[in-house]
Amino acid sequence: MMDIPTAARVFVAALLLSPPAAAGLSDAQRAQLDTRIEHLRQHARVPGLAIGIVDGGEPVYARGFGVRDLATKQPVTTDTRFHIASISKTFTVMAVMQLIEQDKVTLNDKLERWLPPFAGSGITIEQLLTHTAGLEDWIDPEGATDDAQVADYVARVAKHHHAYPPGHGWAYTDADFNLLGAVIEVVSGEKFPDYLAAHVFAKAGLARTTALLPPPDDDFAWPHSGEWHVKRAKQHPWDRVFIPSSGVESTVTDLLQWCLVNLRRDPALLTAKSYALMFTPRVETEWDDVSMGLGWQLEKRGKEWLPRHPGGDPGFHTLLTLDPPRQRAIVILSNGETTPRSEIRDLIEEILRSN
């Protein structure tokens, strides 16, 4: 019997090859999605988009819009890799939870146990996962490519003062997750990109997802900057140090599969208890109706707390949202900075309600 990840990928592949009247969406709904999303893309001056939808626990829509590079005019496809920015954090928390299940680390562990430069800081693993560690993002990505630069980053962050005492405030930072990546390396004995490839991407059935910079000849989206005069950016924002917070590259097809892993609570990666821990509100944020679970943001929609994670780096805007009660998910990937992510999500939900 096929395992769930493999079976789901086969389903997605079959769906993308099937005619417009694929199961789950009517011809009218599909036409509305095609037309209205393209209208929003053009109106917002977004070079390229990739949109994916899971509904009723199955992928029902995946399509590329626009171009992956204004210079080449090559179209976005469902296999085009995008820099997914902070959606990357959902993979990092998966890795942490796996190590917790193996009794190699705990939520209450002090960071200094694994990263000695943080001796006396009082920061815990849970505080990093919930953005309550008191850290600030005072170091920007610098285009690091060497594994050794991770240790340098850890040492620099450890010397910086806290914005507030750990556990007594909240501030969303990339630093929290970059440090978690360093912890994963120490605990597992594997480089962070290798750990994700073997223990997360492979087990989830993600064939086109990587924590490495895509090669120049790959089908990947190039970043574009500007609001009114959109232009091709000079460089891709990937940074070796920032992989745990924002460095994963993926496709809409793979992220639909990632949604299924989390919606179905796939036991190939975690136990049901660990999924529940990730998706339980733990800390209020400064954003209206949004709390932190472990790694995931939880948005209050009616009576439900729905997992989500947006992402934004120079030249890219992304969004992944889960709706477990409806077994629904929406993936939005773009290589522009003016992408109306919330408007696209609202549009998709409106069309799904019209069924």
151 and 237: one domain? Answer: no
d(CA 157, CA 139): 8
> pTM here?
0.93
302 and 343: one domain? Answer: yes
Out of 188, 220, 250, a domain closes at 188
Residue 19 is predicted with a pLDDT of 32
227 and 334: one domain? Answer: yes
Under a CB-based contact definition with an 8 Å cutoff, are residues 192 and 186 in contact?
no
207-228 burial, b for 16+ CB within 10 Å, e for fewer? ebbbbebbeeeebbbbbbbeee
Specify the CATH number for the domain of residue 26: 3.40.710.10
Out of 163, 188, 213, a domain closes at 188
d(CA 244, CA 227): 28
Per-block mean pLDDT, blocks of 10 residues, the chain (355 long) = 35 35 79 98 97 98 98 97 98 98 98 98 98 96 95 96 94 98 98 98 98 94 91 94 98 98 98 98 97 98 96 97 97 97 97 90
292 and 244: one domain? Answer: yes
Tokens, residue 81: 């890799």
124 and 60: one domain? Answer: no
29 and 56: one domain? Answer: yes
264 and 138: one domain? Answer: no
Structural domain span for residue 208: 4-87+193-353
Q: Residue for token digits 């472990």? A: 294
Q: Which residues contact 306 (CB under 8 A, 6 or more apart)?
A: 298, 299, 300, 321, 322, 323, 324
Counting the structural domains of the chain, the total is: 2
263 and 203: one domain? Answer: yes
d(CA 318, CA 300): 20
Out of 149, 169, 188, a domain closes at 188
Residue 229 is predicted with a pLDDT of 87
77 and 105: one domain? Answer: no
Residue 23 is predicted with a pLDDT of 52
